[in-house]
Amino acid sequence: MSLEGRKPQVIPGVLKLYVKIPLERIRLLTTNKMQVIKELESRTLTKVSLDEVNCFAIIEPSNPSTPVVNVMKARDFINAVAAGFSPDKAWRLLNDEQILVIIDLKSVVGESQNHLTRIKGRVIGEEGKVKKNIEEITGTDISVYDDNIAIIGDYESANLAREAVEMLIQGRQHSTVYKYLDRAVRDVKKRKVTAIWSKE
């Protein structure tokens, strides 16, 4: 699943963002009489159209007063679902502090399916334990879907999880990655506490 189709396109006079999305993920959004799409439109003041033939979504403001950032948030939500997240987890992205990070494995490790499968196995771990450990340590949600690894979290946490995933892709030991994360998370907490004290 290439990220190229996810780049926003702007049509003069009307902001429209186009998101490439696999057919099976579009079907997830159209279940229960489009309930997820209706909720997304309501929460972001956008209009979302799904093209099941060409496999993409079109997002645009529902009225002239819709903030541009809302259109971007709706785009991120649909990108997250396209990347394998359930809508329940993708709702996090409507929070201003949450971001979506997507790692395109093919661009990192090449086209070999054997290599891609091995890398995804390292990130997921036996019975999903590695992915779960990274999620718990960083407070993020991680999806391994198709040939992408996607992460949802606040800016610092999502980037820590990304660093951990990249270390695993590079062949670092799981224990090394956990030690790095433990240290990095402690450093982030210290910085936050220091920032709070400095404001008082």
Question: Domain segments of the chain: what residues?
Answer: 4-94, 98-199
Of the candidates 40, 133, 130, which has an alpha carbon nearest to the alpha carbon of residue 80? 40
Q: 98-199, what's its fold?
A: Ribosomal Protein S8; Chain: A, domain 1 (3.30.1370)
pTM of the model as a whole = 0.87
Residue 14 to residue 129: CA distance in whole angstroms: 45
Asked whether 87 and 68 are in contact (CB, 8 A), the reply is no
Q: How crowded is residue 84: how many other Cβ atoms within 10 Å of its Cβ?
A: 19
Residue 1 to residue 143: CA distance in whole angstroms: 14
Of the candidates 178, 167, 181, which has an alpha carbon nearest to the alpha carbon of residue 108? 167
Identify the CATH assignment for 4-94 out of 3.30.830.10, 3.40.50.1820, 3.90.1150.110, 3.30.1370.10: 3.30.1370.10
Q: Which residues of 41-50 are buried (b: 16+ CB within 10 A; e: fewer)?
A: beebebbbeb
Please report, in tens digits, the pLDDT of each residue of the chain (200 residues total).
Answer: 333 344 444 444 568 999 999 999 998 999 888 999 999 999 999 999 999 999 999 999 999 999 999 999 999 999 999 999 999 999 999 999 999 999 999 999 899 999 999 999 999 999 999 999 999 999 999 999 999 999 999 999 999 999 999 999 999 999 999 999 999 999 988 887 777 776 65
The residue with tokens 């009225």 is 63
- CA dihedral for 29, 33, 34, 36, sign (positive or negative): negative
